[in-house]
A and B are shown apart, each in its own frame.
Chain A
């Protein structure tokens, strides 16, 4: 990531190893400083990172080998959260891409839907969660629905833009070659819309994570990582709060890296890692 810059600026002297070392050593130094400062101060609010990591391991990753080291607390906390997030994100992705491409292929449909879409996208997603609480009551359906409903808009809008921007010349060529509608979709419209679709998917993924946590933070939920956070907050158990934050950060990083890997495979190196929101 550091090595290739748009203007060919050299990354840093010393080849590929130096920036790598520099990067991780700085992180290490920061963590060590935090550790030393926290030990010296003994503040309740900022426990040393080693204790946080150990606490996180004890809480979630000290289980038997047969369960991939997951404790039963982890199975009860992390898996429901991830499951709801996956369900919500998958729903949003499928619906967003399908609707987006439909809307984007017709100028009239695009013009019809545009203001409504812009409005839906402008609503801050947490504001909608209470609506779903009323409709579904607390629990998984309400959480999945609020994740899906919030995460669908970036994919939808971006897919529509992507499908709309398909090169008209190529479409005419396709018409001359008498490609059928599915063929046109598969060989022409999807590939050209794919970079935009993935830009939308990335936004949706981070929105899904936010909404997953938010829907679990609300009073009334009874499991998941967000619930662990509020529960620890009411007990002023700061170690658990910090551990949950660490876990969420790691999850966010892994999920984003995974999506980027998929994107690179599907879209190719030419457009991935464009400017993202």
Chain B
């Protein structure tokens, strides 16, 4: 199957899904207030793009997202390099991280809002905490997988620890770190929306959804908000994948999007 055929089948699939949702709602199989027709939801989502207040909300959410993710990367990459480069430190830190990681990050929302109040600070802190882990773990694991031969060769030629880090380890680790950032970006969006949904006032995509929920017949607005949230997630992921492909074209990392079956010879 060529790429073009796949794409057109995909569009057909999307149209089918759209049609089914539309039909289920119009035929009255479920209550219209539960599942409004897909066309109405989509129309509303498009109309929201012209609503300055809504766009401001999206801006607020995206700013918190970017700040949190940036903070997480600024902490996780150096920390991961340290942990990955010094095995003793990694072993020492592992117990602490193994205890912190399984804690579902949304559970921290009550604690952090008690500590910092309910504002941007809380949101950014929570986003940064949650999106720290994928970047950190990817950095540590990737550093453990760098080619020992290349490192030894540099050492034999008299390069120091730092030179080895800069010349061998960072370049091999970078694609993995980027993949970690991509996962973190999705996590950060989850936390941004979750925090806003719970805080309930102010501005943001989550707050728009929370307020639409309480309005009568608000499902259409809630779903329009969900469409926006999914769209944001797709755009963010697409941009990051594109950046990764461009920057690390030399890295032979098999990404889930590329699949493996095409290359398998029958």
Contact = CB atoms under 8 A, between A and B. Distances in A.
Nearest to B223: A131
B119 interface: no
Nearest to B180: A277
Given A115-B14, A127-B197, A213 B95 contact: no
Given A122-B234, A126-B197, A217-B198, A233 B103 contact: no
B91 A135 contact: no
Interface stretch (A7-15, A68-76, A89-97, A264-272): A7-15
From B34, B91, B198, B222, name the one whose CB has the most chain A CB atoms within 10 angstroms. Answer: B91
B13 A165 contact: no
B46 interface: no
Contact of A130 (B92, B176, B222): B222
From DSSP, what is the main secondary structure of chain A's interface residues? helix
B102 A127 contact: no
A274 to B, nearest CB: 10
Contact of B198 (A112, A206, A218, A244): A218
Contact of A115 (B10, B87, B91, B94): B10
Interface stretch (B51-59, B158-166, B186-194): B186-194
A64 interface: no
User: What size tier do the contact residues of chain B reach?
Assistant: 35 or more
B264 interface: yes
A233 B141 contact: no
A17 interface: no
B188 to A, nearest CB: 9
Contacts of A128: 226
B50 interface: no
A46 to B, nearest CB: 9
A6 B144 contact: yes
Interface in A227-277: 229-230, 232-233, 236, 238, 241-242, 244-245, 248-249, 251-253, 255-256, 275-277
Contacts of B206: 126-127
Interface centre among B190, B192, B226, B265 (most CB of A within 10 A): B190
Given A124-B192, A127-B209, A253-B98, 12 more contacts: A9-B144, A114-B6, A122-B231, A126-B106, A135-B34, A161-B259, A210-B105, A210-B106, A212-B104, A213-B106, A241-B114, A253-B99
Interface of A: 2, 5-7, 9, 11-12, 19, 22-24, 26-27, 30, 45, 107-108, 111-116, 118-131, 133-135, 157, 161, 164-169, 172, 206, 209-210, 212-214, 217-218, 225-226, 229-230, 232-233, 236, 238, 241-242, 244-245, 248-249, 251-253, 255-256, 275-277
20 contacts: A7-B144, A7-B145, A7-B148, A22-B88, A26-B92, A27-B96, A111-B6, A111-B10, A119-B230, A122-B237, A131-B222, A135-B34, A135-B35, A164-B259, A210-B105, A210-B190, A217-B198, A232-B110, A248-B104, A249-B99
Interface of B: 1, 5-6, 9-14, 16-17, 33-35, 87-88, 91-96, 98-111, 113-115, 134, 137-138, 141, 144-146, 148, 176, 183, 186, 189-190, 192-194, 197-198, 205-206, 209-210, 212-213, 218-219, 222-223, 225-226, 229-234, 237, 256, 259-261, 264-266
